[in-house]
Structure 1
Amino acid sequence: MKAIIFAAGKGERMRPLTDHTPKPLLTINGKPLIDFHLEKLAQAGFNQVIINLAYKGEMIKSHCGNGSRYGVAIEYSDEGPEPLETGGALNLCLPWFQNQCFAMISADIFCHFDYANLAQRITDLANSDAQANLALVANPAHNPKGDFSLQKATLCLAQQHTYTYSGLGVAKPTFIDQFPLKRQRFPLREAIYFWLESGKVYGYLCDDFWSDVGTPARLEALQSH
């Protein structure tokens, strides 16, 4: 099974911590954020991971290597000095997916989710007419209005009962390849909005611990977790 870890961002909200260290290598109790994801992916049976790189990407590549110490095979998608955003990152990686469903993970989150759930969602997605299935969480304090709502298991943009996209999900390559507005640089949410209009994006609510590690204060709070 395949997964992509989004790790190309500049981490501007995390400065000064990211002045010299890319956000995926910031640590919680001494362990880099990206290590948590790679270990959980390996435990769940994922064996191929691609990591997109831009800001201080060589540091990430040097740290993660070929993935053997995690139990996965890692490849890299180097986007150059400017990140292509999440949608652009997927578009660049389309040949690597080889028409297989894949998991997508934001490196800058920390959670207790069981990634075996992602593996099962990949199987379910492959046998459905949906394009993606996203993990949602209760709205955190920094995103009180949320991102999406759920009607049974389908994402929508209703004004009430909204949830926040966790940064974890699974998708088919056609989620990007058949998105008519794809281009070199664009955010993932554009493709999500396009496909949910036709009911092709599923979602599910996770109640395990989750945090968007978006500020130094949030990172500090996790040190005692």
Structure 2
Amino acid sequence: MKAMIFAAGKGTRLRPFTDHHPKAMMEVNGIPLIERNIHYLQSFGINDFVINLHHFGEQIVDFLKEKNHFDAHIEFSHEKDQLLETGGGLIFAKKLLDQEEDFLIMNADILTDMNITDFVNFHREQNSLVTLAVSDRKSSRKLLFDNEMILRGWMNTDTGEQRLAGFNNNYKKLAFSGIHCVDSQFFNHITRTGKFSIMEEYLDLMMTEEIYGFEHSAKLVDVGRPKSVLEAEQHFK
């Protein structure tokens, strides 16, 4: 299986570090996030990667070259002209992914010990177009799932804003973990072009397709702010 790591973002919440570096090079206990996540995925037998780049992307290329790509096969998707966000970035990298039966996507700033093998097996057992890793953790943005763990909506718990595929019948509210498993047929369903969030496509597709949530209780830290780096250093040595 091939994995795409989203590493193009500007990481503005991690300033001042990201004024001069990509967020994927933020260190947790002396080890950059990009290195940690490559090793994490390699521990589940994944050794084929696509990494998208934009903000100080050459630093990631140089670092991985210096480390001999950690003996992995790595291809880069250079978003030189414009940062395309997650959806646009995925389409831009389509030619590197669409020959796969399915593939993983992971945000570079997520650290977790979730069992990827269990996640992929669940995705394949459900014959899902997309499966999203989710957990019961604090977040202002929640995905909503029915009793079969099929995506039925999204809500902002701070503002009360919602997008629903049907009447909210006590849907389970879970936070997205930044890890997706995607059937390559998903490319045939995407309607947007240019710069857009992949979650917008998921929320449109939930009206007609079965997008599943894989609930886990693994450790997970979104290393998006300086204080979360300190939290990550408590959990990931």
Tell me: CA distance 1:11–1:119, structure 2 relative to 1, closer, same or farther (3 Å): same
1-structure distance, mates of 2:69, 2:129: 32
1:177 to 169, 188, 197: 188
Partner AA of 1:167 in structure 2 = G
Tell me: CA distance 1:195–1:96, structure 2 relative to 1, closer, same or farther (3 Å): same
Aligned position for 1:100: 101
Residue 138 (str. 1) matches residue 149 (str. 2)? no
Alignment check: 8 A CA contact 1:176 1:182 kept: no
Percent of counterpart pairs with the same letter? Answer: 28
Range 205-214 or range 114-123, more displaced: 114-123
How far 1:45 moved relative to its partner? 1.4
Structure 2 counterparts to residues 113-124 of structure 1, below 5 A: 113-121=114-122, 123-124=124-125
The structure with the greater share of residues assigned to strand is: 2
Residue 50 (str. 1) matches residue 50 (str. 2)? yes
CA deviations on 1:73-126 (whole Å, 9 max, x unpaired) are 00000001531111111111111111421000000111111222344346446x
1:168 to 152, 156, 179: 179
Alignment check: 8 A CA contact 2:144 2:152 kept: yes
SS in 2 for 1:163: strand
Alignment check: 8 A CA contact 2:123 2:130 kept: no
Aligned length: 219
2-structure distance, mates of 1:161, 1:119: 22
TM-score (norm 2): 0.85
2:228 to 201, 214, 218: 218
Aligned position for 1:206: 216
SS in 2 for 1:58: helix
2-structure distance, mates of 1:74, 1:40: 15
Aligned position for 1:85: 85
How far 1:207 moved relative to its partner? 0.3
1-structure distance, mates of 2:77, 2:67: 14
Partner AA of 1:117 in structure 2 = D
Partner AA of 2:151 in structure 1 = L
Alignment check: 8 A CA contact 2:144 2:171 kept: no
Range 116-125 or range 102-111, more displaced: 116-125
SS in 1 for 2:77: strand
Alignment check: 8 A CA contact 2:11 2:23 kept: yes
Structure 2 counterparts to residues 12-51 of structure 1, below 5 A: 12-51=12-51
Partner AA of 1:72 in structure 2 = A
The alignment's C-alpha RMSD in Å is 2.0
- Structure 1: 4+ residue segments shifted above 3 A: 66-69, 121-125
